[in-house]
Structure formats: structure tokens, C-alpha cells
Amino acid sequence: MSNAFTRSPSLTTPKILLVKLSSLGDVLHNLPIVWDLRARLPDAQIDWVVEGGYVHLLEPLLSRDGFRGIDRIIPFGLRRWKKNLFSLATWKDFFAFRKSLQSSTYDVLIETQGLLKSAIVCSLAKKNPDAVIAGLANATEFSGYEPLARSFYSQSVQVPFQCHAVDRSRWVMSSALDWPLLERSTTPIFYPSGFVASIPKSLVEGLRSPYVLCFHSTAREAKRWPNECWIELGRDLASRGYQVAFPWGSPTEKAVSIALANQIPGAFVPPAFSIEEAFSVISGAALTVGVDTGLTHLAAVLDKPTVEIYCDSPRWKTEGYWSNRIGNVGDIQNPPSVQEVLDASLKLLQQA
């Protein structure tokens, strides 16, 4: 494979734009390519366009105090703009975004989402005439994909039909820079170890250590683990001295959390917390148990003891394979039993 980047030896300090707009789990699983790029191109400029609601996920990787990670985070507000499309403020915000995006001229653009909105962001960026614009050539199973996005790339990257989210990003990055594909033997890194060690423990009133977080909610109902399973698991953990906490993100989810907590001795429903606050809540937990959803994946990438439950999504797509502090149970159309989840939980709790 050959591309304009490798044909230009003068590009020893390339300007690279990463485009991964959302959602929470997808942004997290794209983080390792920042470390992969920085390890091989220590002096590169690395910028990232992301939906404004997920900026906090990237802030720990900002370059500062001798640490080189992301040089610039460029917030994108499509979700907000669509709500007020005819507002003058919306268009002012959009033009401010475009001005920020076009303040650098990029040599390499890496778009790992495969959606039209992400590809359009690439088209809006200012680029060198021979810039590499790399994106997905095909869908991966059970992932969103819009084939029209390919028309915006200079390099479309074929990836396996079944491809883990982290591996998929590495396929596109490696192709864009004409590097050998990074295998799993190169363990993905997500956050600086110093940042993870310095996360303050949760200050949420009512949480008491040792507590176990149970993320029962997810955007798709079929991915949920049955309520009766959560209750049985929670009662067992409570009998062992753990406070069982059921976070929530909407009024409907809060109602479920309350119903679950009411049937488990000492269980707790915390107040709503932001993504930024989630770092501390997760950091202070003895264990996180959750379905295939963003906050469960946050616990896994922070390398905290985490049990990931798969009920109606394939385990290969997002399972935490990079640490023995992560237990993955169940699979698509094969939800785990309470005993499987309990065994995985106790194994991790005994390691602590």
C-alpha cells in the first residue's frame, strides 16, 4: 500500500484530524489510536472533532505539562443545532465551529465512524492538496454505516465484517499512514495512568464504600438484563456487605432504579450525575456491573473491576479484552445467568 503521506518525507510533523463524533462508548473505543499515533509520531499535531456532550471524555488526553496527547478538541454541535435549525444563534455557532476546524491545514484525516455527518466534517476541514482522508469502506456487523460517506474519502479501508470497535479504528489509522496493522499484542491504552490514579473518589451523597455500581439501563430495551436478575444479584452482593447502587439517566430509568433498589436491602439510587462526575463515581466503586452501554465501557477503559453483560449485542464487538480486571459474560441472544454474573463479580472482588 502507498499513499501521499508516505511519499512526502517532509511530513515529519503531520497535522492529523480524528473525526469520531459520538456516542460515549464509540468515543472511548477510539481513544487508543491517539496513543498509537503519538508513539510513532511524537511531534505530530493531533486534533479531534467530537460532539460537545463528549468533550469531557477527551479532556484528560489534552497535551499539557510535557504530556503529548490531543493538541486540540473541536466541539461539534449537530445534536444541539438540529433542535434550533432556524435560529440565528445556531448558525453563528456553526460558523464558529467551521472557523475553528479550518484554522489548521491537515495532512491526514482519520474518520472511523462511517457516517455521512462525520464524512461531511472531513469535507469541511482545510486540507493539503495531497491529504489522506481515510474512512471505512464497509459496514461491520451490528454497526451503523452509511455507504455515501465513502465518496468523501481518498482512501476507503476494508475491515473485517466482525471487528471489535478498537480494532476497527486501528485498521483505518494503520491504512491512512501506511503502517503495518496493529495487533492486539500492542495493548490499547485509553487514559494516562497518572490521570486514572488521581481521579477523586465519589462525593455523591449517600454512596458508602464498599459499593457496587449496577448500570441496568441502555438505549435499546433488548440489551437489558431482566429486572429479576438484577434483584437476585443485588441481594447476594448486599448480603456480602456491599451497597448496591443503581444509577439512571432519564425519568424512566430512575423509576426502574427505584423499583430495583426497593427490593434489595440497603440499595441506593444516586442523584443524576454528568459524564464528568461519572469518572469519580466509577473510580470509587469496588465493582461496576453493567450491560453493553457507555458508562460500563467507561469503567472498563479506566481499568476498574468491571463485569460487562451482553444480552442482545455481540460480545466480540465491544468486550474489554485488554485487562484481567474485566469480565465479559453473555452474548447476543444468550444473556448470562445470575450465577455467571455473580461468579465473575466475586472473582474480580477477590482480586482487589
Instruction: Give 81-106 pLDDT, tens digit per residue.
Output: 878 878 888 999 999 999 999 999 99
Same domain (yes/no): 158, 260: no
Q: Residues 46-80, buried b or exposed e (16+ Cβ, 10 A)? A: bbbbbbbbbbbbbebbeeeeeebbbbbbbbbbbee
Residue 2 domain-assigned?
A: no
Same domain (yes/no): 212, 187: no
Q: Are 69 and 41 in contact (CB under 8 A)?
A: no
pLDDT value for 10: 41
Same domain (yes/no): 188, 42: yes
Q: How many domains, in total, are found in the chain?
A: 2
- Check residues 203 and 306 and name the one with the higher pLDDT: 306
Confidence of residue 159 (pLDDT cuts 50, 70, 90): very high
- Please give the average per-residue pLDDT across 292-310, as a whole number: 98
pLDDT value for 11: 64
Confidence of residue 72 (pLDDT cuts 50, 70, 90): very high
pLDDT value for 2: 40
**317: part of which helix (H) or strand (E)?**
helix 315-318
Question: CATH number for the domain including 228?
Answer: 3.40.50.2000
Residue 6 domain-assigned?
A: no
Helix (H, G, I), strand (E, B) or coil at 307: strand
Range of the domain at 254: 203-351
Instruction: Quote the cell numbers at residue 312.
Output: 442482545
- Please give the average per-residue pLDDT across 248-276, as a whole number: 97
Out of 195, 224, 245, a domain closes at 195
Q: Are 118 and 149 in contact (CB under 8 A)?
A: yes
Among candidate residues 106, 107, 175, the one with its CA nearest the CA of residue 138: 175
Q: Report the residue count for the chain.
A: 352
Residue 129 domain-assigned?
A: yes
Residue in the block written with cell 457496587? 212
Q: What is the pTM of this model?
A: 0.95
Residue 5 domain-assigned?
A: no
- Check residues 322 and 12 and name the one with the higher pLDDT: 322
Q: How many CA atoms lie within 13 A of 195 on its CB side?
A: 19
Residue 8 domain-assigned?
A: no
pLDDT value for 79: 78
